[in-house]
Amino acid sequence: MRKITVFETTLRDGEQSAGVNLNLQEKLEIAKQLERLNVDIIEAGFPAASIGDFESTQAVAKAIRGASVTGLSRSNQRDIDVAWDALKGGAEPRLHLFIATSPIHRQYKLKMTKEQVLEKAVESVKYAKQRFSVVQFSAEDAGRTELEFLKEVFTAVIDAGASVINIPDTVGYLSPEEYGAIFRYIKNEVPNVDRVSLSAHCHDDLGMAVSNTLAAIMNGADQIEGTINGIGERAGNAAIEEVALNLRIRQDYYQAETRLHLDQLTRTSRLVSSLTGMVIPPNKAVVGANAFAHESGIHQDGVLKERTTYEIISPQLVGLESNSLVLGKHSGRHALKERMEFLGYHLDEEQLASFFQKFKDLADRKKQVSDDDLVALLHESTLKDDSNHYRLEYLHVSYMNAVATATIKLQTPNGTSLEDAAVGSGSVEAIYNTIEKMVGMKINLLDYKIKSLTKGRDSLAEVYVKVEYEGMTGTGRGLDNDVLGASTKAFIDGINRLRNMSKPKQFMEEENEENESTSFVLEAFK
């Protein structure tokens, strides 16, 4: 079997999904789970895009030792220098360097000729190789670039020192036949292509990202790029879990495989969904809630007689394990530790002691504590940084004569307490009116979602909000046995994130190293 390298970009391209704003601790948690999944490369961010991206990329590079950590860079020396400062502490730092090559990008975005693009690409690869042992070069919008020009650019950057050549379908424009043909052309026409690996990066604008990625593999791609749950810009990227399962289930056809631990796919998917607030559709392939559900009587009869009649993927393959161990209020610390290790979380004694107390508090309110409850509780416990944050101390809601009143007490960032009350036409509106009044910020609620983690009346409620303040957009997440408690925590979390944002999240697309936005960001590092 050919070994296919997995380049995972949830923390970079995935975070560019509209409304997604991960904090440092959340990025670290996702990165650690990607390490458990056994991906080869984690793209941690775009270090020159903002101070926050620089810091998170640097933190991930230092924390991860089971995968290579990379960062995105435009083709200019200052971006490369910032990326090196962020990544140099990693186990195997590498750079993902890009410049647009298509006629429409050259004319309208870069305002550069073919010759200027070629010169900039070669110059940047040579400069990057002075620091990074592995430089991946991406021809942005390669799918709409003239093949002869791609050949010229790739030949030159390989000679300049590029180790990986990425051929992105940046706007999800191509069909599988067209995309595969580009790989065949590059394999046959670029004279020094044997010195590099070829990578596929596909977007899902026309719903073809996974199909195009598989077509690339069939035509010589050595590396695939994508995100968990297929999140990303616009309609998203190729879903890593779908590509990996295609290769596993249809090994006879593709004759290729990844080194992913497939039994970590469901946990990874749920973690990314939980922290980004992007709900997984029930009919989502591989990881959706209905992926292994059978309602038709004919299907049920077939599965009961022989599973493979209607089920080509076993639930256990993707991590939906059944286990007889039930945790509740009488469970001890050893049972909790064993279960967390089974789920892939290794807690030291101090962490276990703290988490055990939170588990007991939850178990007092729930008859049985599920795996989903444990994972959610762990994330809730470890991902909250209370420094410089508002924190809920007390909540009381009353409802009379169609008017709701919320009384709330908050701990402020400076350690003092505030208490106030306000009314609303419903309980959630009253809560949010009260908090808005207390923090002195006019918050626009753009979205509100609520779901239960498990079945039953005592299920934990998980609430996601999308909030906006003075042009800045962020998300918030709250977890509680009570729906109103979860709603309150989510709104407070969203406000805390907005307060930590120095400017609206943006992805800078200009590649000219003299542009003002680049200068602004780099000045901030000085």
Give the torsion through C-alpha atoms of 486, 461, 469, 17, to 10 deg.
150
Q: Are 162 and 196 in contact (CB under 8 A)?
A: yes
Mean pLDDT of the region 181-201: 98
> CA 306 to CA 274: how far, in whole Å?
34
In this structure, is residue 70 part of a structural domain?
A: yes
Query: What are the tokens at 199?
Result: 């990578």
What pLDDT band is residue 228 in, cutting at 50, 70 and 90?
very high
In this structure, is residue 423 part of a structural domain?
A: no
- How far is Cα of residue 214 from the mean position of the Cα atoms in its chain? 21
pLDDT by residue (tens digit) across 469-501? 998 888 899 998 899 999 999 999 999 988 877
Residue type for position 63: A
pLDDT by residue (tens digit) across 129-168? 999 999 999 999 999 999 999 999 999 999 999 999 999 9
In this structure, is residue 287 part of a structural domain?
A: no
In this structure, is residue 133 part of a structural domain?
A: yes
Radius of gyration in angstroms for the set of CA atoms belonging to the chain, rounded to a whole number: 25
Range in 268-272, 342-346, 425-429 with the lowest mean pLDDT: 342-346
Range in 83-92, 380-389, 395-404 with the lowest mean pLDDT: 380-389
* Domain range for 109: 2-276
In this structure, is residue 340 part of a structural domain?
A: no
- How far is Cα of residue 362 from the mean position of the Cα atoms in its chain? 28
Q: In sequence order, what are the beta bridge partners of 96?
A: 72, 136
Note the pLDDT of residue 303: 64
Q: Using DSSP bridges, classify how beta strands 417-424 and 403-411 pair: parallel, antiparallel or unpaired.
A: antiparallel
pLDDT by residue (tens digit) across 110-120? 999 999 999 99
- What CATH number is attached to the domain comprising 25? 3.20.20.70
- Per DSSP, the three-state class of 467 is strand
Note the pLDDT of residue 383: 54
The residue behind tokens 């010169």 is 119
List of E strands, 86-232: 94-100, 134-140, 164-169, 197-202, 223-226
In this structure, is residue 296 part of a structural domain?
A: no
Average pLDDT, the chain: 89
Query: What are the tokens at 253?
Result: 């056809």
In this structure, is residue 224 part of a structural domain?
A: yes
Note the pLDDT of residue 517: 40
Q: Identify the burial level of 296 via C-beta atoms within 10 angstroms of its C-beta, where 0-12 means exposed, 13-18 middle and 19 or more buried.
A: exposed
Note the pLDDT of residue 518: 41
Mean pLDDT of the region 248-267: 96
Note the pLDDT of residue 512: 42
Q: Are 61 and 92 in contact (CB under 8 A)?
A: no
> CA 64 to CA 69: how far, in whole Å?
7
Q: Using DSSP bridges, classify how beta strands 41-45 and 461-469 pair: parallel, antiparallel or unpaired.
A: unpaired
In this structure, is residue 317 part of a structural domain?
A: no
pLDDT by residue (tens digit) across 494-517? 999 888 774 444 333 333 443 434
Overall number of domains in the chain? 1
Mean pLDDT of the region 373-384: 73
Residue type for position 58: Q
How much of the chain is in helix, strand and coil states, percent to nearest 5?
Answer: 45, 20, 35
What pLDDT band is residue 379 in, cutting at 50, 70 and 90?
confident
pLDDT by residue (tens digit) across 317-367? 998 865 445 688 788 888 888 888 877 778 888 888 888 988 888 888 877
Mean pLDDT of the region 452-479: 87
Q: What is the 3-state secondary structure (H, E, C) of 425-455?
A: CCHHHHHHHHHHHHHCCCCEEEEEEEEECCC
What pLDDT band is residue 306 in, cutting at 50, 70 and 90?
confident
pLDDT > 90 fraction of the chain, expressed in percent and rounded: 67
Higher-confidence residue of 334 and 221: namely 221
DSSP-H helix ranges across 291-417: 297-305, 333-342, 349-363, 371-382
Q: What's the start-to-end Cα distance of the chain, in Å?
A: 49
pLDDT > 70 fraction of the chain, expressed in percent and rounded: 92
